[in-house]
């Protein structure tokens, strides 16, 4: 009995349970994101330790835009396949694919595809970034494509670093369908099970909390069964350590007639160290859609905009929406 598995790839799977899903049975996008990141972390950490020098952990720094192609349901088996697809001197890209399998009917569906970027941090000194051993490419073309993805994400990461801004508390008595009405926050005390062995929070745990808040915002706005449709690229600006309290806040930025865009902020603060200020660790845009009982898309109530700031964010959201739409159409045409 032997399933050969290369050092730079990995397969994991798990049955989806009631706690992984909402009350209608749709597995949360956050559950999927957490599994994807677990696979990426294993394959990345394993690869970076295939050389001499300090032992290290692969720390998640970025997830590329991710689309949820097919819903996964309770009782199905989610198969996650991860493979290292590019290495630079100090970072590596892992591409991950999630297949859902209904073991009663045998039907398999591609639920998700994602690309994650990791950097190896020394276990002795977490601020020291280690070198990444190079992988072998099947062709020069493949390497070249990887180099392009690397360059593109690097540029984007630098841009987004500046975009950090404060979350304004909602107005005291916001009307229905306004931004303030559905804005939501949760706090979570980081425990040992949330962490890697060097006591930093797994990126997947953070993404699961973000998806939970985004889901609450979406459900408050449209009061129906809602599911994650996609996530814009997420940059992990700062690490979060065990013993911190994280505050995760979500607010609507944009709504089309069939989708909602929710901006989610993750702020971390130490309970113990009064001097250390709260800091923005991650931020991202989640897109949700609303479904009826037959899993068909429902119309979304229009978002009531108030003030210059909300208007600006709405327009930026609209631009992202139009860009995504154009990209989807272009891909469809290419396939036909």
Binding site for its own copies (CB under 8 A): 1-5, 9-15, 17-19, 22-23, 38, 41-42, 45-46, 49-51, 55-56, 74-75, 77, 81, 83, 95, 97, 101, 103-106, 123, 169, 172, 184-189, 191-193, 196-197, 212-213, 215-216, 219-220, 223-225, 242-243, 245, 271-274
Characterise 89 by phi-psi region: left (phi > 0), alpha (psi -120 to 50), beta (else): alpha
Q: Contact at 8 Å (CB) between 240 and 281?
A: yes
50 burial class (0-12, 13-18, 19+ CB within 10 angstroms)? exposed
Who's near 147: CB < 8 A, 6+ residues apart?
86
CB 67 within 8 A of CB 243: no
Q: What are phi and psi of 244, to 5 degrees?
A: -75, 160
CA atoms within 13 A on the CB side of 267: 16
Least Å distance, CB 310 to its own copies, is 18
Catalytic residues: 22, 211
Q: Is 22 or 318 the residue whose CB approaches its own copies more closely? A: 22
Residue 157 makes CB contacts below 8 A (sequence gap 6+) with 61, 62, 235
Residue 172: CB atoms within 10 Å: 6
Which residue in 80, 79, 8, 11 sits closest to 44, CA to CA?
Answer: 8
The DSSP line for 232-274 is --EEE-S--BTTEEEEEEEEEEEE-SS-EEEEEEEEEEESS-S
| Rounded least distance, CB 33 to its own copies, Å | 16
Alpha-carbon distances, residue 116 vs 35, 51, 119, 200, 293 (angstroms): 12, 22, 10, 17, 33
In which region does residue 48 sit, left (phi positive, over 0), alpha (psi from -120 to 50) or beta (all else)? alpha
Residues 282, 273: Cα–Cα separation, whole Å: 21
Q: What is the dihedral sign for C-alpha 83, 120, 213, 313? A: negative
Rounded distance between C-alpha atoms, residue 138 and residue 264, angstroms: 38
């Amino acid at each position: 009995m032997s399933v050969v598995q290369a050092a730079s790839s990995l397969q994991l799977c798990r049955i989806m349970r009631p706690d992984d899903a909402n009350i209608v049975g749709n597995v949360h996008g956050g559950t999927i994101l957490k599994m994807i990141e677990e696979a990426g972390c294993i394959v990345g950490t394993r690869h970076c330790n295939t050389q001499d020098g300090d032992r290290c952990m692969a720390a998640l720094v970025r997830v590329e835009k991710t689309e949820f192609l097919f819903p996964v349901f309770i009782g199905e088996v989610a198969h996650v396949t991860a493979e290292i697809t590019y290495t630079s001197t100090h970072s590596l890209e892992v591409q991950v694919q999630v297949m859902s399998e209904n073991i009663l009917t045998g039907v398999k569906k591609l639920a998700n595809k994602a690309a994650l970027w990791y950097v190896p941090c020394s276990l002795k000194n977490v601020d020291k970034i280690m070198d990444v051993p190079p992988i072998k490419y099947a062709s020069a073309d493949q390497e070249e494509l990887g180099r392009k993805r690397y360059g593109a994400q690097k540029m984007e990461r630098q841009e987004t670093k500046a975009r950090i801004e404060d979350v304004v508390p909602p107005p005291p008595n916001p009307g229905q369908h306004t931004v303030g009405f559905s804005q939501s926050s949760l706090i979570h005390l980081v425990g040992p099970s949330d962490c890697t062995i060097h006591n930093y929070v797994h990126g997947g745990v953070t993404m699961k909390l973000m998806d939970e808040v985004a889901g609450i915002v979406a459900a408050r706005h449209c009061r129906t069964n809602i599911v994650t449709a996609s996530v814009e690229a997420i940059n992990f600006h700062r690490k979060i350590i065990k013993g911190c309290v994280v505050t995760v806040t979500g607010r609507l930025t944009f709504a089309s007639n069939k989708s909602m865009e929710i901006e989610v902020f993750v702020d971390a603060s130490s309970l113990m160290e009064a001097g250390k200020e709260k800091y923005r660790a991650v931020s991202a845009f989640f897109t949700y859609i609303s479904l009826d009982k037959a899993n068909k898309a429902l119309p979304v109530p229009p978002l009531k905009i108030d003030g210059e700031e909300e208007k600006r964010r709405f327009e930026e959201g609209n631009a992202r929406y139009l860009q995504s739409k154009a990209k989807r159409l272009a891909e469809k045409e290419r396939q036909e």
